[in-house]
Amino acid sequence: MPITVLVVDDSSADRLLIKNTLSDYRVLEACDGVEAARIIESEEEIDILILDLNMPNMDGFAVLELIKNSERHKKLRPIILTAYDEIENEIKGLKSGAVDFIHKPIHSLALKARVDVHAALINAERALEKKLSEQALTFDMVFEQAPIGIAISHNCFPKEYDDPSKIRINPMYQKITGRTKEELIKLGWAKITHPDDVAEELENFRKVESGELKEYSMEKRYIRPDGSVVWVNVTVYSLLPIGENKFNYICLVQDITERKQIEFERKYISEHDRWTGLYNREYLVSLLEKHAKTMQCSKKALICINLSMAELLTANYGYQYTQNMIKKAAEALSRFCSESCVLFYPSENRFVFYLFGYKQRSELDEFCGKVAQTLESLLVTDRITGGIGVLEFGGGQEEPEVDELLRKLLVASDKSVGLSEKNFQVCFYDKELEELVNRERDIGEALGRIAAGAPCEDEIYLEFQPVLDLRCGAVCGFEALARLRSQKLGLVSPKEFVPIAEETKLIIPVGERVFEKAFLFLGKLKQRGFGDMHVSVNVSVIQLLSPGFTKNLFALIDKMGVDPRQICIEITESVFASDYEKINSIFDELRSSGLQIAIDDFGTGYSSLAREKELKVDCMKIDKIFIDKLLETDPHKAITGDIISMAHRLGQYVIAEGVEHKPQLSYLIEHGCDRVQGYLISRPLGEEKALEFLESFGVGGAI
Ligand code: C2E
Ligand code: MG
Ligand code: MG
């Protein structure tokens, strides 16, 4: 657009001179102030006004006055024409709004140079304005259409506003928060932020406001008017201050609700057990690790409910049945949860409560009592038994690693099962238990070394207890009883090491060593002239059912050249709870090769007389309990005699175990018992002592 110059002068000669000089511009003319006022009013755009001050009708000062306060003409640049000697007019004119002056008589080159400078300034101003307006347009477009919420404040949220017009909030911000700009301005962000996030954001905001931080970014929640929650990522930057002491900032808000939803779902899956909906092991570990750092002083306890016996249910009724039972238990136990008591299902058939911040142990006792009561009434119909293991830690003491905590808890919970007659017995992990566990581990390690056959200080050796035949009054054989001598623990009773060997399956290789040693003893008996003696070897069900048991045994018998008829195998009553048919077929195989089978500890466990009838065995060993009872009860009322007759009816011979006193022996003789074994005859003896005993007692020796 060309620059327009209005020349106001009552001298037509001057006007002509100016017009000719400024031929590059669009020049308008007025002969006095009145005409000038009319043109200024009607013309759209006048850029430069060349104004004579001394004119008839309306002078130049009046024209300056006219345009001075007009908004429309604020860009108009008045240049006054003054004489050299009119310095006062010059000052007055400049004060009244003129931007420059030109002296009369007019020097055309000076005029042109002056006007060119102003024209250049006007063009620069125009270019700047254009650029600014383009930028503002772009910004407005972005602001209005941005897919993220933007709020710009030249004031301080959430404090009072002195000028709400200085706050800009775009449509997306309103959409995300579900509120209009007016509502947002009225409420301020703190009031629409989720209460749990306010403190953190106010602290962040304070840091930006004080200049400590230039910006902050955080994930937080807004509450919409309908109460729903929207997750957002908020970034707040401070802007350069516009007014004095004013804090200005821009806030960018991104709706991340969907992403959060997916995150929550993933987190839920990773932290929960699918079937029970309870927290899983991973979450338990992460919570314990977190609390190890943040809650060292707090008293903490893990309580493990061991329902491992539920596996028996699975065997009888199937997996789904047990699973449903577990779900019911989960629901019942969930009712005990509180802010400081969290329930987990970390592994099959085991629940764990994690309690923290309690005061004393009695609270745990009370808690376990209630849990036991609930489970007992829930599981009574399924006859599920279980135990409760407790591990206390924290309280300012140094804490073991989480893995170690869980190991100890498992130990306590395993020990709690079958601890006593009472169901859901509570077992605290303490020093005593720790020692027991360490001892069991040492025994297991010693057995492992023996089983591996590596040279070591640990050994399994046998003692032999004589068995007396009551019909001829002579020793007819021995029971081989295994002993463990460990370098670390000394002598260990089979009552202690056999269950560990069974649990670790080491009983299989250890049992083979026992057979070897027993067969060697048979060889020695033969050498010393007792070739018709038999030796009984105790065999656990795990050995019996291990693949290749009979094959290996027959191979050993062959290799060592022993007569199978001199070997008796003693199996405890627990055999009744196992795969009955398979056991019977193994018995068949052994018996058809000449070995004898005895049922050990009869009367202590699972046996029923009906089943006893079905088992193909040669001998019944009546447990010491029944022999002990002979001392307490009226001999006429004792059932021991009945057991003897029953066994005889089944075609079995009977050995009475643990005979310690003469009256017991008299009763047994009277009731037709075939053989006896016990301290009354002899304690278990070392190999050499056993041979000496035999020689001194003599076959057919007196009782
Ligand atoms: P068991 O087979 O019933 O052996 C009899 C146990 O009673 C032996 O204990 C024996 O020393 C003890 N005993 C014998 N007479 C008397 C008596 O008059 N009074 C008393 N109070 N006790 C008597 P031990 O040697 O401690 O063996 C305990 C159990 O360990 C055995 O019971 C057997 O079940 C198991 N066992 C021993 N050796 C082996 C083995 O080589 N393999 C397997 N699988 N188990 C074994
Ligand atoms: Mg035995
Ligand atoms: Mg026994």
pLDDT higher than 60, residue 242: no
Q: Which two tokens stand for residue 57?
A: 């009708």
Assign 702 a pLDDT band (cuts: 50, 70, 90): very low
d(CA 266, CA 274): 12
Q: The domain 272-429 is classified under which CATH number: 3.30.479.30, 3.30.70.270, 3.40.50.970, 3.40.710.10?
A: 3.30.70.270
Ligand 1 touching residue 684 (CB < 6 A): yes
Assign 536 a pLDDT band (cuts: 50, 70, 90): very high
CA 481 to ligand 1 center in whole angstroms:
6
The ligand with the least distance to the CA atom of 540 is 1
**For residues 554-574, average pLDDT:** 93
Strands (E), 53-165: 77-83, 100-104, 149-153
Q: What is the pLDDT of residue 72?
A: 82
Tens-place pLDDT, residues 427-438:
999 989 989 889
**More confident position, 579 or 163:** 579
The ligand with the least distance to the CA atom of 569 is 2
Ligand 1 touching residue 493 (CB < 6 A): yes
Q: Quote the Cα angle for 169-173-179, to 5°.
A: 90
The ligand with the least distance to the CA atom of 462 is 1
Ligand 1 touching residue 491 (CB < 6 A): no
Position in ligand 1 atom list of the atom nearest CA 483: 38
CA 496 to ligand 1 center in whole angstroms:
11
**For residues 453-469, average pLDDT:** 92
**For residues 575-594, average pLDDT:** 85
Q: Which has the minimum average pLDDT: 41-55, 223-237, 407-421, 448-462?
A: 407-421
Tens-place pLDDT, residues 248-266:
889 999 999 999 999 999 9
User: How many CB atoms are closer than 10 A to CB 62?
Assistant: 17
Of 481, 497, 574, the residue with max ligand 1 atoms within 8 A of its CB, to mutate for a pocket test, comes to: 481
C-alpha to C-alpha distances, 27 to 18, 82, 501, 700, nearest whole angstrom: 9, 20, 118, 156
**For residues 189-206, average pLDDT:** 94
Q: What is the pLDDT of residue 313?
A: 79
CB 499 within 8 A of CB 510: no
Q: Which has the minimum average pLDDT: 220-229, 245-254, 605-614?
A: 605-614
Strand bridging mode 425-428 / 653-656:
unpaired
Position in ligand 1 atom list of the atom nearest CA 572: 34
Position in ligand 1 atom list of the atom nearest CA 537: 41
**For residues 448-462, average pLDDT:** 90
**More confident position, 598 or 383:** 598
Question: Domains of the chain: which residue ranges?
Answer: 1-106, 146-271, 272-429, 457-694
C-alpha to C-alpha distances, 672 to 275, 644, 649, 651, nearest whole angstrom: 60, 7, 12, 14
d(CA 169, CA 182): 9
Q: What is the pLDDT of residue 495?
A: 95
Most confident of 121-125, 186-190, 608-612: 121-125
Ligand 1 touching residue 623 (CB < 6 A): no
Q: Is cis: bond before 105, omega within 30 of 0?
A: yes
The CATH number given to 1-106 is 3.40.50.2300
Nearest Cα to Cα of residue 654 among 622, 623, 688: 622
CA 668 to ligand 3 center in whole angstroms:
17
Q: Is cis: bond before 158, omega within 30 of 0?
A: yes
Domain at 146-271, CATH homologous superfamily:
PAS domain (3.30.450.20)
Q: Which has the minimum average pLDDT: 298-312, 496-510, 569-583, 632-646?
A: 569-583
- Asked if the domains at 272-429 and 457-694 fall in one CATH topology, the answer is no
The ligand with the least distance to the CA atom of 603 is 3
CATH architecture of structural domain 457-694: Alpha-Beta Barrel (3.20)
**More confident position, 43 or 678:** 678
Tens-place pLDDT, residues 100-150:
999 888 998 999 999 999 999 999 999 999 999 999 888 889 999 999 999
pLDDT higher than 60, residue 165: yes
**For residues 609-616, average pLDDT:** 69
**More confident position, 246 or 695:** 695
pLDDT higher than 80, residue 85: no
The pLDDT > 70 percentage for the chain reads 94
Q: What is the Cα Rg of the chain in Å? A: 53
Ligand 1 touching residue 469 (CB < 6 A): no
**For residues 304-333, average pLDDT:** 89
**For residues 287-293, average pLDDT:** 95
CB 343 within 8 A of CB 334: yes
CA 553 to ligand 3 center in whole angstroms:
22
d(CA 148, CA 411): 56
**Which residues fall within 8 angstroms of residue 547, CB to CB, at 6 or more apart?**
none
CB 233 within 8 A of CB 217: yes
Q: Which has the minimum average pLDDT: 285-294, 542-551, 579-588, 655-664?
A: 579-588
Query: H/E element holding 368?
Result: helix 361-379
CA 623 to ligand 3 center in whole angstroms:
6
Ligand 1 touching residue 413 (CB < 6 A): no
Ligand 1 touching residue 678 (CB < 6 A): yes
Position in ligand 1 atom list of the atom nearest CA 463: 25
Strand bridging mode 350-356 / 299-306:
antiparallel
Strands (E), 312-446: 341-347, 350-356, 387-394, 425-428
Ligand 1 touching residue 482 (CB < 6 A): yes
CA 604 to ligand 2 center in whole angstroms:
13
Nearest Cα to Cα of residue 372 among 304, 270, 271, 309: 304
Q: What is the pLDDT of residue 7?
A: 95
Position in ligand 1 atom list of the atom nearest CA 481: 38
Tens-place pLDDT, residues 24-54:
999 999 999 999 999 998 888 899 999 998 8
Assign 703 a pLDDT band (cuts: 50, 70, 90): very low
CA 446 to ligand 2 center in whole angstroms:
23
Strand bridging mode 100-104 / 149-153:
unpaired
Tens-place pLDDT, residues 523-533:
999 999 999 99
Instruction: Tell the residue nearest (CA) to atom 11 of ligand 1.
Output: 684
The ligand with the least distance to the CA atom of 623 is 3
